[in-house]
Chains A and B, each alone.
Chain A
Amino acid sequence: MAAAGHDDGVVTVGRSRIGTIFANTGGILFALVMIFPVYWVLNTALKPRDEVMSFKPYFIPAHPTLDNFTSAIKAENFLSGLVNGLAITAMAVTAALVIGFLAALAIARFNFYGRRAIIMIILCVQLVPLLALLIPLFLMLQGWHLTNSLVGVALVYLVLLLPYTVWTLRGFIAGIPKELDEAAMIDGCTRAQVFWRIILPLTGPGLVATAVYGFIQAWNEFIIINTLNSPDKQNLMAWLLQNQTERGTAWGPLMAGAIITSLPVVIFFLSIQRNIATGLTAGAVKG
């Protein structure tokens, strides 16, 4: 067909050029729709107040300013929110990785009685509508004096992160040929040495992807922390929502706040963009 003319090695499929143009236009238009709100956030955050509230849309700020960012950072509970969020996320993700990795190892490498049941349990936890558990979780943590505490929230996040962690890491470990373990053991390695020298290094990329995904989940959570903790013990997401209701129409600082709170996640994502896409979907595809 038409497009095949200029290149010998090409097998052109279907309606060729018109189809390609159609596909490209569709792709670009849809990408614009997807990205436009994000652009608008940046735009709003850089505008002074009178331009934000103006009825005439400014697609580029006429007088760009960083005032919105400084006023967001100076707002009450911003710093504590940042520190709390980092602490909770670090605790939950580290614990989830250690516990989840060992569990994944057991499920991926050993055949034992009850293995299928455990896999079913892992999958079922992901179905749980979180909000239905909010009341009992609150009562439970209250009983242990863990409400209004960073550890209590981290514990709940750990439980939420575990199923995904185990499931994804299971996929990565199952991808390492068992023959490698056996060869090492014939050469005299103990089980522990097989773990440290073979399985752990080879699961490295999987661990990174899982850690980043866990980070995103824990960092972005706000319903649980909002229910369990008072404002000075909350994270930046809860802080953002607090600001939204308190300030009403102060959109500039609010958008600046939104940018600051999502910055860690975006940086993480862009730095290991390839890995996380595979990591995120590994569990679902190999399931």
Chain B
Amino acid sequence: MRHGKYPFIIGFLVVPLALYLVFVVGAYLQMFQLSFTDWSGFGGYHYIGFDNFGKLWDDPVFWIALRHNVYILIAMPIVTIAIALFFAFLLNVGGKSKGGVTQGVWGSKVYRIIFFFPQLLALAIVAVIFGRVFGSDRSGMLNGLFPDSWSPWLFLADERWALVCIAVVLIWQQIGFYVVLFSAGMGSISQDIYEAAALDGATKVTLFFRITLPLLWDTLQVAWVYLGIAAFDLFALVNIMSVNKGGPNNATQVLSYQIYLNAFQNSQAGYASAIGVVLFFLTLTFAALTLRVTRRDAVA
């Protein structure tokens, strides 16, 4: 058995590793290289040391974009996880218990499909749909539901609410995945534990906080990392939904969109690469911190 396993392994792994080296490692190296140049996106370039990063430090739009990323990084995962946990619990153990087996609420199969549905739609389609939902005149879906006496809400065209609207769309789209993810996690918790606790007179709330939550911790951690990464991205929604390129008045500006604008519209590919480098380190730091901070000893 021992002999002859390495040819197998090498043969199986050589293609994916080569692809990874060329397309991911190679691409990152090139991005780092470009971040030290004044390349416009066309023709030649010169190395200019850390000038791009100095310019970044003094760029107010960069800081606005970073602040928005951080807002969403804090708010979006909390809201998404809270709602998803609540519904996953409802779907799995919210209903009556029959013969000692706790069940989900009535119709939980239908809910599962409904919650999961938005996950199937491309962000492009989601963004287009919500452009209609948030339409700023009376023909918009939400404004159409309000009484005639109200003046129409501006939603995405309102500086104060534009970013909230985008966060709402993101939550709407992602929640189904986390309901399913947490449901799967809850499904692997032994029924005996619930049964024992229920016999001891535990309420649903107690069951949730004392049993479900601690036993689901690893899954929550994974969810937090995924959501955090989504919070650093945001490009698709901002690109399609925002009024006036990350507006109004930079109200929806985020880092990934700054990369895009600088690289493909302002012909500052070197500068855009510098933002990319910052985004790279931010994402890695976030993932490492999350995994470290939330790590704890296994619960019995």
Contact = CB atoms under 8 A, between A and B. Distances in A.
Contact of A14 (B204, B219, B264, B287): B204
B203 A103 contact: no
B74 interface: no
Contacts, number: 277
Contacts of B275: 132
Contact of B97 (A11, A185, A244, A269): A11
A241 to B, nearest CB: 6
B161 to A, nearest CB: 18
Main secondary structure of the interface of A (DSSP, over half): helix
Interface string A79-103: 0000000000000000000011011
Contact of A110 (B9, B96, B131, B225): B9
Interface string A1-22: 0010001011111110001100
Given A220-B123, A244-B128, A281-B180, A38 B27 contact: no
Nearest to B26: A140
B9 A112 contact: yes
Interface stretch (B57-65, B231-239, B244-252, B292-300): B231-239
Nearest to B86: A26
Given A11-B100, A131-B233, A262 B120 contact: yes
B100 A285 contact: no
Interface string A48-71: 000011111100000000000000
Contacts of A155: 23
A38 to B, nearest CB: 6
Interface string B91-134: 10011111110100111001111111110111111001111110
Q: Which 9 A-B pairs have the closest CB atoms?
A: A220-B122, A132-B276, A55-B138, A57-B144, A136-B30, A14-B203, A106-B12, A136-B27, A102-B12
Given A41-B129, A106-B9, 13 more contacts: A11-B195, A36-B141, A55-B144, A103-B13, A129-B279, A131-B276, A155-B23, A220-B123, A221-B122, A238-B124, A255-B129, A266-B120, A285-B219
